Amino acid sequence: MNGSSGPFRPKLPPWIRVKVPCGEQRAHVEDLLKTNSLNTVCRGAQCPNLCECWHRGTAAFMILGDRCTRNCRFCAVGHVEQPLPPDPEEPARLAEAAASMKLSFVVVTSVTRDDLPDGGASHFARTIRALKEKIPGVKVEVLTPDFNRAEKDIRTVLDAEPDVFNHNIETVERLTPLIRSKAQYRRSLEVLKIAWKITGGRIPVKSGIMVGMGETDDEVVQTIRNIRGTGAGFLTIGQYLPPSKEHWKLARYVEPSVFDAWGGFAREIGFTHVASGPLVRSSYYAEQLAGDGGILRVKV
């Protein structure tokens, strides 16, 4: 771990205030997930927006199990070398739950499955198709692992016609080997570039980064440039919050004005859809970010 003594997460600054609404809708979402044996990245990754999103009746579904074959130092999802085989009934159950939640926009992500020949790409495709068959007119955003840059696997996912293809860079190039288990910065850029090339930009390509992990402002700007260079047009930038003292140590809280500046820069160099703020996450208000407005300003 980087750093040494001291609290793993210093006191939250005044501009970070996580909303914790309560109500029947959150309980309804929890019941649906439990009944259908489904995982969410909301809970698995300890997302700070879980309560708010579940109260709104939304969730980012996590397929292919709840244990990852990689062990990134920022992530709260569990790690195991040999996860259970994919559940062939999961796509249908997920579609049923999404229909019960009356969702018109569904985010589907997964753990990384380096143990599978296709990295889980075919399971992604079945899930997209199940959703589109179950819910007429539904839009589906996928947040995928890197599939070890296998173009055939990226194509498998895109052939199922998701409405947004997302793969996160997560952090700057210098920190990638320290923080992202088995991942490579340039390989992730290639995934985005391949996804854009396969559809010629017909399916929007999205990526995201976390800040506060020890990067410099200049490195963030360069990362934004690199992502845009792949053809990606959607971008999210959010504050890293360590899940526990065992994870990568927080280096700084970034002020909202800096997020605003990065968001403005991203728009200037050609990103059409940008969400930049302390509580922004890849799937937070994804349906609004993917809408016609093109920019999401998250109040803190």
* Averaged pLDDT for residues 100-127: 93
Q: Please indicate, yes or no, if residue 153 is contained in any of the structural domains.
A: yes
Answer whether residue 278 is part of any domain.
yes
d(CA 125, CA 64): 12
Residue 286: which of 165, 185, 197, 190 has the closest Cα?
A: 165
Give the pLDDT confidence of 75-99 residue by residue, as tens digits. 877 888 889 999 999 999 999 988 9
In a domain, 135, yes or no: yes
**Residue, of 226 and 33, whose pLDDT is higher:** 226
Position with higher pLDDT, 99 vs 38: 99
49 or 177, greater pLDDT: 177
Q: What is the value of pTM for the model shown?
A: 0.86
Q: At what angle do helices 24-35 and 90-100 cross, to 10 degrees?
A: 160
At residue 75, the pLDDT reads 84
- Could you tell me if residue 255 is inside a domain? yes
Domain span at 169: 24-296
Does a structural domain hold residue 7? no
User: How many CA atoms, within 13 angstroms, populate the side-chain half-sphere of residue 279?
Assistant: 21
What's the mean per-residue pLDDT of the chain?
A: 84
What are the phi and psi torsion angles at 216 (to 5°)? Answer: -95, 165
Q: What confidence score (pLDDT) does residue 292 get? A: 52
CATH number at residue 95: 3.20.20.70
Classified as helix, coil or strand, 64 is coil
Check residue 104 and give its pLDDT.
85
Proportion of the chain in helix, strand, coil states, percent, rounded to 5: 35, 15, 50
In a domain, 63, yes or no: yes
Average pLDDT on 112-141 reads 96
Comparing 24 with 3, the larger pLDDT belongs to 24
Please report whether residue 241 resides in a domain. yes
Residues in a beta bridge with 48: none
* pLDDT tens readout for residues 145-200: 999 999 999 999 999 999 999 999 999 999 999 999 899 999 999 999 999 999 99
pLDDT-derived band of residue 57, with 50, 70 and 90 as boundaries?
A: very low
Domain count of the fold of the chain: 1
Work out whether strand 205-211 and strand 164-166 pair parallel, antiparallel, or are unpaired. Answer: parallel
Integer Cα distance of 44 and 192 in angstroms: 24
